[in-house]
């Protein structure tokens, strides 16, 4: 009898089971160092608060940044924090550790596992504190939306979440692609963390930038799309669907390019013992 129709569901259940085991392991690890867990949450919330305070200072001297009002920018910063923290919860630690896996030869053991290697590398650790910080970002977005008297429809909220997923995929794809440089240079943490620092660009209104800078951070490194497009949808600031299509297309392109980079880099890897 042909079992082909059941192969994909069985494979999906298998990977969900593996991810569940990885999640449990991450919970056990985080609870072993509770003070570090709580301290990191506090530091992230403090940094988030400082960014909001900075915007408050700017808007003491102006009413608008291009067409963006104070509470629209607060909504943008909240969305950017939400996307960044969800990315951090799933992928950040794992992407930054790829260099060490290559350098120490631990990648050999992961390659021998009967699962997709990129899956296990990308998702083997979970940052639970980032979920708490993502929740604080949601509260800030809700407060800003109330100040703006926004009443987004269910379609807008779903669209916003879909676009946030696209933004997370862009972050993950580009950071993972940069991490694969470790197959050539052994250590690539500086490059990876350098990209992480670019996340702050996503917190700024796209209309504040012009010329080459805007073009680079829209199409080459699409930071200005990641947060601006979802917030524009939520705040009814989109005049056409083109930005939405651009963001989704860029997420697909980035994912495909990162997969090509991963496969090319993996062919170069000769294991730690050779």
So what's the pLDDT on residue 4? 46
Give the pLDDT band (50/70/90) at residue 67.
confident
More confident residue, 241 or 273: 241
* Structure confidence by residue, pLDDT tens digits, 145-155: 999 999 999 99
3-class secondary structure per residue, the chain = CCCHHHHHHHHHHHHHHHHHHHHHHHHHHHHHCHHHHHHHHHHHHHHHHHHHHHHHHHCCCCCCECCECHHHHHHHHHHHHHHHHHHHHHHHHHHHHHHHHHHHCCHHHHHHCCCCHHHHHHHCCCCCHHHHHHHHHHHHHHHHHHHCCCCCCHHHHHHHHHHHHHHHHHHHHHHHHHHCCHHHHCCCHHHHHHHHHHHHHHHCCHHHCCHHHHHHHHHHCCHHHHCHHHHHHHCCCCCCCHHHHHHHHHHHHHHHHHHHHHHHHHHHCCCCCC
Residue appearing with tokens 């969800």 = 86
So what's the pLDDT on residue 63? 83
**Which range (38-47, 81-90, 174-183) has the least confidence?**
38-47
CB-based contact 201:224 (threshold 8 Å): yes
Mean of the pLDDT values across residues 214-219?
Answer: 88
User: Rounded to whole angstroms, what are the CA distances from 261 to 107, 116, 180, 241?
Assistant: 17, 16, 7, 30
Chain mean pLDDT for the chain: 87
């Amino acid at each position: 009898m042909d079992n082909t129709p059941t192969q994909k569901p069985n494979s999906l259940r298998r990977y969900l089971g593996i991810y569940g085991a990885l999640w449990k392991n991450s919970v056990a690890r985080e609870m072993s160092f509770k003070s570090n867990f709580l301290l990191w949450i506090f530091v992230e919330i403090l940094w988030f608060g400082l960014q909001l305070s900075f915007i408050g200072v700017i808007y003491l001297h102006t009413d608008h940044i291009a067409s963006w009002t104070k509470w629209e920018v607060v909504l943008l910063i909240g969305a950017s924090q939400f996307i960044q923290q969800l990315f951090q919860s799933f992928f950040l630690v794992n992407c930054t550790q790829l260099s060490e896996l290559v350098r120490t030869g631990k990648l050999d053991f992961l390659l021998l596992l009967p699962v997709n290697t990129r899956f296990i590398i990308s998702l083997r650790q979970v940052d639970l504190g980032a979920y708490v910080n993502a929740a604080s970002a949601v509260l800030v977005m809700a407060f800003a939306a109330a100040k703006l008297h926004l009443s987004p429809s269910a379609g807008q909220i779903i669209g916003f979440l879909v676009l946030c997923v696209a933004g997370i995929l862009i972050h993950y794809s580009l950071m993972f692609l940069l991490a694969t440089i470790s197959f050539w240079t052994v250590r690539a943490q500086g490059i990876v963390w350098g990209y992480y620092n670019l996340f702050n660009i996503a917190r700024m209104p796209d209309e504040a930038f012009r010329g080459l800078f805007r073009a680079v951070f829209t199409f080459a490194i699409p930071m200005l799309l990641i947060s601006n497009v979802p917030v524009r949808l939520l705040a009814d600031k989109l005049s056409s669907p083109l930005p939405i299509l651009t963001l989704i297309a860029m997420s697909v392109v980035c994912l495909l390019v990162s997969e090509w980079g991963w496969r090319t880099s993996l062919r170069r890897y000769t294991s730690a013992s050779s």
